[in-house]
């Protein structure tokens, strides 16, 4: 009888723990919560876009002797937190820099380089907006800034 009670109790506790874990994993941040986490991490947060539902924030990082302003925004679907860095004007089609940036994508993935509609060279990293913690966002932010900094010899011309 004691074994049956212990087994049932263990099963109930495990089920509750899994339910709690699943609940935490499915939680997504809204734009206000994203800003709060950035502040909690001790970052100086700059509001870039203040329009309701389109808020975008920036935090500056230092990497490889560069100041790298990193933009933070939640995708329209709410599924991703995008970290972006504007690296200036994009390369012209077919030049050597384009080829070198493509090669760097393999080196720094999941960070990647792209050219925006307005012709700006951008670096980006998508973070799945599910179960995001302060430590996870800090880790991704530092990795992103480091990837931008360590590739400066390719894009900083």
Digit-coded pLDDT (tens) for 66-125: 999 999 999 999 999 999 999 999 988 778 988 999 999 999 999 999 999 999 999 999
Q: What is the pTM of this model?
A: 0.81
In DSSP terms, 115 is beta-bridged to 121
Range 42-52 average pLDDT:
96
Give CA separation, 28 vs 47, 55, 70, 83, in Å: 21, 16, 21, 16
Mean pLDDT over the full length of the chain: 89
Neighbours of 41 (CB within 10 A): 14
The CATH architecture to which 28-155 belongs is 2-Layer Sandwich (3.30)
Task: In whole angstroms, give the CA distance from residue 85 to residue 5.
Answer: 56
More confident residue, 26 or 108: 108
Task: In whole angstroms, give the CA distance from residue 56 to residue 75.
Answer: 10
Q: Hey, what are 50's tokens?
A: 């203040």
> pLDDT class for 22, splitting at 50, 70, 90?
very low
What does residue 65 show for φ and ψ, rounded to 5 degrees?
Answer: 65, 25
Sorted by where each begins, the domain ranges of the chain are: 28-155
In DSSP terms, 127 is beta-bridged to 81
């Amino acid at each position: 009888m004691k074994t049956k009670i212990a087994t049932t109790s263990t099963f109930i506790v495990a089920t509750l723990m899994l339910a709690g874990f699943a609940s935490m994993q499915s939680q997504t941040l809204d734009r206000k919560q994203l800003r709060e986490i950035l502040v909690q991490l001790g970052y100086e947060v700059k509001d870039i876009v203040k329009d309701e539902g389109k808020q975008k924030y920036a935090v500056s990082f230092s990497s490889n002797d560069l100041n790298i302003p990193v933009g933070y925004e939640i995708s329209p679907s709410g599924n991703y937190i995008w970290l972006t860095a504007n690296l200036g004007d994009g390369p012209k089609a077919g030049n050597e820099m384009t080829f070198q940036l493509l090669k760097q994508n393999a080196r720094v993935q999941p960070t990647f380089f792209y050219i925006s509609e307005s012709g700006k060279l951008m670096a980006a990293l998508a973070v799945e907006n599910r179960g995001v913690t302060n430590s996870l966002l800090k880790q991704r932010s530092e990795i992103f800034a480091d990837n931008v900094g360590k590739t400066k010899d390719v894009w900083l011309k």
